[in-house]
């Protein structure tokens, strides 16, 4: 929204509405704290954090008790500011860490939407955006808003997951991006992120937030973005195959042709000659090819047999569940290789 003369945004606030934290945690250049912790903030910033926290609802009239937030400089959300670019990287890594597949069921521990990020920029907003009147009915008393010049009122210009604009005022409600969202009881961003970094496939993820960035880091982050898209609630299995395949191709810089053979070689080089890994790749890309060219596939599970006997084979894990595990292992191997190359003076590109 274009600011009028005399209008200026305040310090913005980034919030993970569905992630809580017991203590401050540093992610890149940002420190995320619980919305109940306003230590060292100015009176104005404290008020904004309180108003934002009061807007976060899970469903119906159930307000979320606390969320993880970080203070930002004043921003123009319509511009590609460096701060927003850095936040995208942070969200990509947080969503990625929480997406490890369940060891039994194979689905992601958290879907992408559970790591949603909302940005609130304190600035005047149009009364017509926060108090629409056409074809709506207020079912509860609302505070009176008195618009100032240009029909604006004090509020917040927002972005949900860097894509979806929204406008709110004090006592507004912001709900999840999907019809039903569950909050995990044990989830704790500070504790969980420390634990994630103890795992071999994750311990070099912080290098992706360093500046200046490298070509290798940009490639990995782009691959993580596609991987996270594959873990969205709204994606069916067909869409997940396409997004996950794109994540592999981006991570491994595969050529446009002979992808199946090249990914077998690339994954085997990174992870070793694991039994039946080549068969998994062939079946995964066979399913992906079915979807790309025919729009449908029946090959959703791994069949531990050669191609001649696929019809009579027992079905094992979902190809997608195995794919998530293999992708995360490959990310760790790529980052480790880049790290060794940098230490050896070979560059990171």
- 292-346 pLDDT, tens digit per residue, is 888 888 888 888 765 545 555 556 778 898 899 999 999 999 999 888 877 776 6
Q: Please answer whether residues 52 and 69 qualify as being in contact, where contact means their C-beta atoms are separated by less than 8 angstroms.
A: yes
What's the average model confidence in pLDDT over 75-85?
91
The residues near 26 (Cβ < 8 Å, ≥ 6 apart) are 32
Predicted local confidence at residue 315, as pLDDT = 60
Instruction: State the pTM of this model.
Output: 0.90
User: What is the C-alpha separation between 292 and 24, in angstroms, rounded?
Assistant: 45
Is the model more confident about 62 or about 215?
Answer: 62
What's the average model confidence in pLDDT over 151-173?
96
18 phi/psi in degrees, rounded to 5: -110, 10
The residues near 42 (Cβ < 8 Å, ≥ 6 apart) are none
Q: Please answer whether residues 177 and 160 qualify as being in contact, where contact means their C-beta atoms are separated by less than 8 angstroms.
A: yes
- pLDDT category, 12, cuts 50, 70, 90? very high
Q: Please answer whether residues 134 and 29 qualify as being in contact, where contact means their C-beta atoms are separated by less than 8 angstroms.
A: no
User: What is the C-alpha separation between 258 and 270, in angstroms, rounded?
Assistant: 18
- Paired with 296 in beta bridges are none
What's the average model confidence in pLDDT over 69-79?
94
Predicted local confidence at residue 299, as pLDDT = 81
The residues near 39 (Cβ < 8 Å, ≥ 6 apart) are 33
For residue 212, is the peptide bond before it cis, meaning its omega torsion is within 30 degrees of 0? yes
What's the average model confidence in pLDDT over 112-122?
97
Write the CA distances from 241 to 18, 276, 325, integer angstroms. Answer: 26, 19, 14
What's the chain's average pLDDT?
89
The tens digit of pLDDT for each residue in 186-212 reads 999 999 999 999 998 899 999 999 888
| Closest by Cα among 44, 13, 4 to 159 | 13
- pLDDT category, 349, cuts 50, 70, 90? very low
The tens digit of pLDDT for each residue in 22-69 reads 999 999 999 999 999 999 999 999 999 999 999 999 999 999 999 999
Residue 106 zone, left/alpha/beta (φ > 0; ψ -120 to 50; rest):
left
What's the average model confidence in pLDDT over 81-85?
93
User: What is the C-alpha separation between 227 and 115, in angstroms, rounded?
Assistant: 14
Predicted local confidence at residue 295, as pLDDT = 87
Side by side, the strands of the sheet bearing 13-16 are 25-27, 30-34, 68-71, 13-16, 118-126, 152-160, 164-168
């Amino acid at each position: 929204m274009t600011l009028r003369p005399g209008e200026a945004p305040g310090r913005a606030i980034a919030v993970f509405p569905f992630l809580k934290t017991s203590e401050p945690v540093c992610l890149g250049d940002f420190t995320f704290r619980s919305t109940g912790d306003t230590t060292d903030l100015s009176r104005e910033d404290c008020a904004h954090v309180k108003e934002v926290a009061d807007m976060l609802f899970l469903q119906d009239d159930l307000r979320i008790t606390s969320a993880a937030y970080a203070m930002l400089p004043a921003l123009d959300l319509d511009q590609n500011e460096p701060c927003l670019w850095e936040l995208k990287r942070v969200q990509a890594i947080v969503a990625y860490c929480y997406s490890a597949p369940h060891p039994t069921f194979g689905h992601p521990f958290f879907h992408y939407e559970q790591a949603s990020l909302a940005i609130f920029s304190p600035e005047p907003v149009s009364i017509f955006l926060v108090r629409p009147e056409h074809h709506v009915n207020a079912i509860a008393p609302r505070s009176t808003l008195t618009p100032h010049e240009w029909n604006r009122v004090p509020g917040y210009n927002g972005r949900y997951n860097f894509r979806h604009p929204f406008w709110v005022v004090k006592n507004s409600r912001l709900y999840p991006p999907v019809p039903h969202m569950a909050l995990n009881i044990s989830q704790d961003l500070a504790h969980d992120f420390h634990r994630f970094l103890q795992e071999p496939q994750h311990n070099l993820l912080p290098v992706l937030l360093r500046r200046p960035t490298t070509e290798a880091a940009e490639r990995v982050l782009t691959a993580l973005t596609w991987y996270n898209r594959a873990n969205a609630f709204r994606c069916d299995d067909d869409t997940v195959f396409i997004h996950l395949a794109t994540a592999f191709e981006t991570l491994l810089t595969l050529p446009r042709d002979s992808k199946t053979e090249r990914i077998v070689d690339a994954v085997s080089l990174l992870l070793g000659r694991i039994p039946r890994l080549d068969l998994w790749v062939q079946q995964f890309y066979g399913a992906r090819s079915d979807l790309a060219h025919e729009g449908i596939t029946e090959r959703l599970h791994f069949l531990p047999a050669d191609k001649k006997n696929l019809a009579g084979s027992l079905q094992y894990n979902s190809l997608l569940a195995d794919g998530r595990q293999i992708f995360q292992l490959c990310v760790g191997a790529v980052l480790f290789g880049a790290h060794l190359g940098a230490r050896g003076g070979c560059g990171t590109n």
